Structure 1
Amino acid sequence: MSISVIIPFYRRHYNLKFCLQGLNAQRSSCFDVIVSAFEVDSQLEQICNPYPFVRIEAMSGIQWSVARSRNTGIRAATGEVLLFLDADILAQPNLVELHRAVQIESKLSCMVPGRVLNFFPYKQSSGLYTEIIEESNISDLLFDAENRLPSDERWGLPKPIPLPWSLCWSGNLSIPRKTVLDNELYFNETFIGWGCEDLEWSYRAYQTGCQVKFCREAWGIHLPHSRHIKQQITSEKKNFRKFLQNYPTFEVEILTWLNDIEANRSFLDILLDISKVRGLSIYDAQKSLMMGFLPNRLRLGIDKLEPDEKALFLLGIVTPFEKNTFDEVIVPNWIERLPTYLRLPIQIEMNRICKKELI
């Protein structure tokens, strides 16, 4: 089974050098590498030329887009498996072979997320985040990395994982190419900036029946680089809102509200609290969540639609509507009996989308 490694690239030459050194040291040889670049310059060519298994694909467009970069790689790939790997990832020597082994063993189509060490984008909430790689070679960087570097939070979540698709970060993730092509699973290029485009993609992949199989052993190190945390968080919030507009479901609502790690940690507890108030099982409580709306009115927490109403299967903590969309918002009594941590954000959101303040 052959693998095409797809690396989106934009101006991080130093990290790409380490990334390709790590791939050159892989114990598997059944793969090729596509560097999908926004700008092809002599420095990039100098980094890639020593490796015969690497080819550069120039992406189109006048603005950088990680989604379009990955799509360029998908269209150029020939491997039976696509392995998305960020240019900032230094792969341990068995990473490609481990992805290959899981894909071979899987009887059904699956996404395989591998661990990413030293990646914690939400620990610092503001300012310019700058780190410098002090080690001079990949052996130093990889040495005792699993014990030396911060681990991947996804592997610390309690089981079962309620929203496994939301943990399919594209920095180290494989999927059969046939699954992608048969279901036209290209990344949504309308997402601008950092964040969420991979989770929206993995959500669509999951809806096709594609499973998720986590591979702890297929780890890589996230190499540090300069980044603007405030700008990234602002961009991600906008992208999550777009995700919810495209797929207004309870799962995406909670993901938009809490983000991936905390959403998976809290999802079942949230459903349990809703089920207690409604006197339903957790399964039925989730199925019962629905709001109905007309052009000027929204009814929250309804059991059935009125004529001409449209339905969204949301709780109401986050909605896809703009500010002051509705003249009237109707909230049922059972919403008022929810725990404070759920009730207050619902009230805030309803006041945001209603032209008059709710009592």
Structure 2
Amino acid sequence: MSPALFTETVNAAANSAGTAHLSVLVPFYRDDAGALLSAFEREAGDGTEMVLFDDGCPDERLNAETAQAVLACPRPARLVTARSNLGRAGARNALARRARGAWLLYLDADMVLPAGFFARWQEIAGKAEFDAAFGGFDLIADEAREHRVHAALARAGDVAPAAARTARGASAVCSSNLLVRAALMRTVPFDEGFTGWGWEDVDWAVRASKAGRLVHVDNSAVHAGLQPVEGLLSKFAAGGANFARFLARNPEMSVLPGARAAVLVKRTRLASPVRRLSAAAARSQVLPVRLRVLALKLYRAACAAEALS
């Protein structure tokens, strides 16, 4: 008999609980979700559960520590461990299938939650005239020196109040702080054809906005997972194929600035040298941060250009 694809650690509260109003869903891969579990234990109200998903168990020590924390939690909590890595889309779909709540709240494992975060989401869900809502994210005020370029890149686009995100619509949605009706997720799952990093959440949002009402609200959490430039270069290189898939599935999104830049780079037939030169500029310690951010954007466009058909 082949080994089970998943194992599950269920605490006493989850064993005795029935359905939930809100399921807090946290996929992780090497990231420690212990702080989120502690915040859930302190602040989540009645009718909530937390389900953690270790996507492939690359760190057995972390998995064991998380299992112990789940068992010790007085609120309903479970840890699902995948035998092999499912990826970002697959992990989120697997979490949705295991959730008992009418509402699903996706959080990245490295998010830091302000006081009252869960209570605000429960209140928002209780009054909901929508099917999905993105709460936004903030950054820590004093980031490390090696993270300043990533912070500046985020502040130039992703970090914004609900009004500004609403103007951008589905393209401003991330799965790092996302509330969704379980019924909508059953109708519109994440596309598991996206592999590696990037764009599976925006693709989901574009499709979900056609099947239900998607809104932006102000209930942000702090995104603590900033990376040095080298990490961003690696992610953008891996995400080029995903961006090409996103545009192929959603051709109306070709009006996005990143898409226009990728098409322009492709037309020049200079994607390879642009990629090489922009990477060098992004790594440069002597250039101002704003120019390094511009170089990263150009690098991302070049990576996407190489993947476009």
TM-score (norm 1): 0.57
Please point out which of 146, 153, 157 is paired with 2:159: 153
Please point out which of 90, 99, 117 is paired with 2:138: 117
Match status 1:81 vs 2:103: yes
Partner secondary structure for residue 72 of structure 2 = coil
The answer to whether the 8 A contact 2:111-2:225 is kept is: no
The answer to whether the 8 A contact 1:8-1:37 is kept is: yes
- For 1:159 and 1:226, how far apart are their aligned partners in 2? 23
Partner secondary structure for residue 256 of structure 2 = helix
Q: Deviations over 1:36-69 (max 9, x none)?
A: 1121632331333221422011235x33501111
* Post-superposition offset of 1:253: 4.2
Match status 1:12 vs 2:27: no
2:221 aligns to what?
220
Higher relative contact order (CA 8 A, sep 6+): 2
The answer to whether the 8 A contact 2:89-2:194 is kept is: yes
Match status 1:173 vs 2:192: no
1:294 aligns to what?
none
* Post-superposition offset of 1:12: 1.3
Partner secondary structure for residue 160 of structure 2 = helix
Bigger helix share: 2
The answer to whether the 8 A contact 1:124-1:229 is kept is: no
- For 1:191 and 1:151, how far apart are their aligned partners in 2? 22
Gap change, CA 1:8 and 1:199, over 3 Å in 2: same
Partner secondary structure for residue 57 of structure 1 = strand
Gap change, CA 1:43 and 1:247, over 3 Å in 2: same
* Post-superposition offset of 1:158: 4.7
Partner secondary structure for residue 67 of structure 2 = helix
Identity of aligned residues (%): 20
Q: How many pairs were matched up?
A: 236
Please point out which of 95, 98, 108 is paired with 2:117: 95
Gap change, CA 1:240 and 1:123, over 3 Å in 2: farther
Partner secondary structure for residue 179 of structure 2 = strand
- For 2:227 and 2:306, how far apart are their aligned partners in 1? 35
Matched letter for residue 222 of structure 1 = H
Gap change, CA 1:31 and 1:318, over 3 Å in 2: farther
Unmatched segments (≥5 aa) in structure 1: 126-148, 260-315, 324-347, 354-359
* Post-superposition offset of 1:154: 2.2
- For 1:191 and 1:318, how far apart are their aligned partners in 2? 23
The answer to whether the 8 A contact 1:27-1:93 is kept is: no
Gap change, CA 1:255 and 1:229, over 3 Å in 2: same
The answer to whether the 8 A contact 2:103-2:180 is kept is: yes
**Structure 1 residues 221-230 or 71-80, which shifts more?**
221-230
The answer to whether the 8 A contact 1:34-1:56 is kept is: yes
Please point out which of 226, 230, 234 is paired with 1:231: 234
Match status 1:3 vs 2:22: yes
The answer to whether the 8 A contact 1:110-1:176 is kept is: yes
TM-score (norm 2): 0.66
Partner secondary structure for residue 87 of structure 1 = coil
The answer to whether the 8 A contact 1:59-1:72 is kept is: no
Please point out which of 45, 66, 91 is paired with 1:44: 66
The answer to whether the 8 A contact 1:241-1:256 is kept is: no
Gap change, CA 1:54 and 1:230, over 3 Å in 2: same
Gap change, CA 1:318 and 1:164, over 3 Å in 2: farther
The answer to whether the 8 A contact 2:23-2:103 is kept is: yes
Spell out the pairing of 1:1-359 with structure 2 (5 A cutoff): 2-13=21-32, 16-26=33-43, 28-38=45-55, 39=57, 41-52=63-74, 53-59=76-82, 62-107=84-129, 109-118=130-139, 124=149, 153-155=159-161, 158=164, 161=167, 163-181=168-186, 183=187, 185-212=188-215, 214-216=216-218, 218-224=219-225, 228-249=231-252, 251-254=253-256, 256-257=258-259
Matched letter for residue 124 of structure 1 = V
Q: Deviations over 1:254-309 (max 9, x none)?
A: 254279xxxxxxxxxxxxxxxxxxxxxxxxxxxxxxxxxxxxxxxxxxxxxxxxxx
Gap change, CA 1:7 and 1:256, over 3 Å in 2: same
Matched letter for residue 201 of structure 2 = D
Gap change, CA 1:86 and 1:236, over 3 Å in 2: same
Unmatched segments (≥5 aa) in structure 2: 1-19, 270-301
* Post-superposition offset of 1:28: 2.2
- For 1:159 and 1:167, how far apart are their aligned partners in 2? 6
How big is the alpha-carbon RMSD for the aligned residues of Structure 1 and Structure 2? 3.5
- For 2:64 and 2:166, how far apart are their aligned partners in 1? 48
- For 2:259 and 2:173, how far apart are their aligned partners in 1? 18
The answer to whether the 8 A contact 1:196-1:239 is kept is: yes
Partner secondary structure for residue 192 of structure 2 = coil
